[in-house]
Amino acid sequence: MNIFVLFGQTATGKTAKALTLAKQHNGELVNFDSRQIYTKLDIITGKDRPSDTQCKIWLYDIVDPHDTFSSAEYVTQAEKVMEDIVARGKTPILVGGTGYYLRHLLYGVPEMKAKEDWELRKALGTKSVSELQDILKEKDQKVFEDMNRSDSMNPRRLIRRIEILEQGGTLASKKATITLPARIRDLVGRDGQDIKMVFLPFFHPTPHVVREKITGRVEERLKNGALTEVKELLKAGYDKDDPGLNAIGYKQLISYLNGIITLEEAKADWINKEVQYAKRQKTYFQKNFPSVI
């Protein structure tokens, strides 16, 4: 049995290829994009809805934009989905660009090692999200940068990381103690030794191509109604501080609609932030999945 894993940078055609593989291998897609898990965020996140209604994409639209969503919560959802796909005799096809979602799914969620410090928690509990972020950055910039968007806006998770660093603790990975076949056995409920992981990396060949592809995609999404999507979200009661709307594209267009920047400035910043994100994606995958790139 094969499990396909399509991963890499944004705007590289991963989902289109995954849909083709699904037709060829009686497969169903499992999304691991941290932006596409949110409901109502469709145009800017680039959800590719299959025209073939028989091809299912799992883990789209599972979280309200008001809510935070951790990688541990993602893994819980993905485990159930993969087990169900295999039980029905179909092929799981993982596709996305959120590296820590994939890493935690395949190797287990990191354990946080430190005792609970209730005095520290009480003291930090009066701080704003911005203040907590600054405290964490001062203690360990990399720990903050490794947090996903939802966690970095969540006071409880920021405080927990500060607590760990205060005690000299670590975010210990299970990778050293869990082998991939054993993990796959846990995921799909069968012997991991008879499962072949087929990794298909997707990266732009040059930085110039990255910017060219992303610019074209941003222009297309604006043409397809990105501004209307943001207006409808704001009208429905969502705002810039919601975890879902902390995503690239939404932040820039909200600033435009609030009169802070021009549309051209919003577009330029959106493109620049996506290019920077694509660079971080490549770095993360090269560091954490070197044997399959």
Q: What are the tens digits of pLDDT across the range 177-235?
A: 445 556 666 666 666 557 788 999 999 999 999 999 999 999 999 999 999 999 999 99
- The three-point CA angle 83-86-90 to 5° equals 140
Find all residues with CB under 8 Å of 226, minimum gap 6, and list them. Answer: 43, 44, 249, 253
CATH fold of 207-283 reads Helix Hairpins (1.10.287)
What pLDDT was estimated at residue 14?
Answer: 96
- 150-171 mean pLDDT: 82
- 73-78 mean pLDDT: 92
CB atoms under 10 Å from CB of 270, counted, come to 25
pTM, full prediction: 0.79
pLDDT digits (tens, 9 = 90+) for 16-50: 999 999 999 999 999 999 999 999 999 999 998 88
pLDDT digits (tens, 9 = 90+) for 44-64: 999 988 877 678 999 999 999
Q: Is 112 helix (H, G, I), strand (E, B) or coil?
A: strand
Burial call 167-206: b when 16+ CB within 10 Å, e when fewer: eeeebebebeeeeeeebbbebbeeebeebeeebbbbbbee
What pLDDT was estimated at residue 286?
Answer: 93
Per the prediction, the chain carries an average pLDDT of 88
| β-sheet with 2-8: strand ranges across | 57-58, 27-31, 91-96, 2-8, 196-202
What pLDDT was estimated at residue 191?
Answer: 60
What pLDDT was estimated at residue 118?
Answer: 87
Enter the CATH code of domain 2-109+174-204. Answer: 3.40.50.300
**Confidence band of 153 (pLDDT split at 50, 70, 90):** confident
What pLDDT was estimated at residue 141?
Answer: 82
What pLDDT was estimated at residue 175?
Answer: 44
Cα 161 to Cα 101, 103, 265: the distances in Å are 19, 19, 35
